[in-house]
C-alpha cells in the first residue's frame, strides 16, 4: 500500500524540553525512518527559540507548513483549536495529555478530587470543546486514558499513538542491585509536592530525592541508585519518568490518577498502583516500607513492566505505519 500523505507537518514548541516535545520529535523521526516525507513546524511564538540539543539525534528537520491537499498536519492537544484554520491538509490532533488541554480544563476538579491538596493552581480555562471540530479531525491518543476520555466526550474512536523511552542511557550504566540501594525514594517535585512532603514526615528513616534541575545523565544516574520511584501526582498522559525509573531498576509506585489508573498505560502490580482515597498517603508509606524491607521481590514483580517499556519503539513504529501509511484509524492499541 502506498503512502497516505505526500508530506506530514508536525507542530512543536521549539526550545521546550519536556516529554511532549520529545514525542513530537519521535513522530517525525519514525515517519522519516519509514520513508515518509515529514517535518517539524515551530508553533507561532517559539520560532526564535534554540532547538533542544538533547533531541539532535532524532531525524526531525523543520519546514514551513503548506495547507494543500495531500498533506497532513499534526498538532498536539494544547493547540487543538488551531486545527480549524486548515482547509486542505488532513488534520490530526495528538492528545499527548488530557488534563493539560485547555478545552478540557473546566472539569479538572471533577475528575481529580486530589487536586485541591496540591500547591498547583487550576489549569487555565480555554474555549469550550468544539464538538464538530473534534469529530472532524483525526484524533491520536498517547494513552488509553486519553482514548477512553475522548470516546466518552466526543463519541469518537481515536487511534492509539504512544511514544517510546530510550533504554540506552540506562543500559550504559552499572545499575546498583535492588538490595544495595538503601532507603531512597526518588520523586518529581513538580507533581504532588505537598503530598510527598506529608509522606516524608511519616518516613523519617527514608531519604527522599527530588528530581529537579538535573541533566539527562544526572537523572539517569540518580534513578539508577534509587530504590523506589514514587509518583502520587496526576498522570495527564502516559508519563515518561516512571518508565525511565523502571529502566533504571527502581521499583515504581504511582497513584491511580489519570493514565496511572489504566493498567494498559501503567502495567504495574496492583499493590504498586495506589487508589486516590483519603488514606492514600498512609498506604503509600506502608507500600514504601514493604518495598524497602524486601526490594528484590518487589523489583521482580515489575519485570513485565520493564520489558514493555523496552519494546515501546517497535510498537510506536508500527502504530505510525498503521496510521500514516496504511490509514488504519480508530484502533485502541489493545492488540499491539
Q: Which residues pair with 91 in a beta bridge?
A: 73
Residue with C-alpha cell 527522599? 208
pTM above 0.85, yes or no: yes
What was the pLDDT predicted at 186? 96
Write down the pLDDT at residue 195: 83
Low-confidence ranges of the chain (pLDDT < 70): 1-3, 105-128, 335-336
How high is the pLDDT of residue 1? 42
Of 212, 240, 226, 241, give the one whose Cα is nearest residue 295.
Answer: 226
CA dist., res. 52 & res. 224, Å (int): 24
Distance of CA 321 to the CA centre of its chain: 20
Amino acid at each position: 500500500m502506498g503512502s497516505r500523505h505526500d508530506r506530514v507537518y508536525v507542530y512543536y514548541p521549539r526550545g521546550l524540553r519536556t516529554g511532549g516535545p520529545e514525542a513530537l520529535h519521535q513522530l517525525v523521526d519514525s515517519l522519516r525512518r519509514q520513508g515518509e516525507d515529514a517535518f517539524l513546524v515551530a508553533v507561532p511564538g517559539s520560532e526564535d527559540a534554540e532547538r533542544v540539543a538533547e533531541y539532535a539525534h532524532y531525524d526531525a528537520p523543520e519546514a514551513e507548513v503548506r495547507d494543500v491537499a495531500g498533506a497532513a498536519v499534526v498538532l498536539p492537544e494544547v493547540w487543538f483549536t488551531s486545527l480549524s484554520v486548515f482547509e486542505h491538509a488532513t488534520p490530526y490532533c495528538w492528545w499527548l495529555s488530557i488534563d493539560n488541554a485547555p478545552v478540557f480544563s473546566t472539569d479538572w476538579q471533577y475528575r481529580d478530587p486530589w487536586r485541591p491538596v496540591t500547591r498547583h493552581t487550576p489549569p487555565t480555562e480555554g474555549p469550550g470543546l468544539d464538538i464538530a471540530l473534534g469529530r472532524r479531525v483525526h484524533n491520536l491518543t498517547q494513552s488509553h486514558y486519553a482514548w477512553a476520555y475522548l470516546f466518552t466526550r466526543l463519541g469518537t474512536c481515536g487511534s492509539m499513538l504512544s511514544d517510546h523511552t530510550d533504554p540506552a542511557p540506562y543500559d550504559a550504566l552499572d545499575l546498583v542491585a535492588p538490595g544495595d540501594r538503601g532507603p531512597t525514594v526518588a520523586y518529581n517535585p513538580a507533581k504532588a509536592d505537598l503530598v510527598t512532603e506529608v509522606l516524608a514526615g511519616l518516613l523519617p528513616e527514608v531519604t527522599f530525592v527530588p528530581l529537579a534541575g538535573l541533566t539527562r545523565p544526572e537523572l539517569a544516574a540518580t534513578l539508577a541508585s534509587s530504590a523506589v520511584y514514587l509518583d502520587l501526582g496526576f498522570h495527564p498522559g502516559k508519563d515518561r519518568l516512571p518508565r525511565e525509573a523502571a529502566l533504571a531498576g527502581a521499583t515504581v509506585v504511582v497513584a491511580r490518577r489519570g493514565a496511572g489508573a489504566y493498567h494498559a498505560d501503567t502495567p504495574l502490580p496492583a499493590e504498586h498502583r495506589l487508589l486516590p482515597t483519603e488514606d492514600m498517603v498512609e498506604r503509600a508509606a506502608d507500600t514504601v516500607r514493604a518495598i524497602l524491607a524486601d526490594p528484590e521481590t518487589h523489583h521482580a514483580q515489575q519485570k513485565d513492566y520493564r520489558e514493555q517499556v523496552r519494546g515501546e519503539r517497535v510498537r510506536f513504529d508500527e502504530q505510525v505505519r498503521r496510521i500514516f501509511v496504511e490509514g488504519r484509524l480508530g484502533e485502541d492499541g489493545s492488540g499491539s
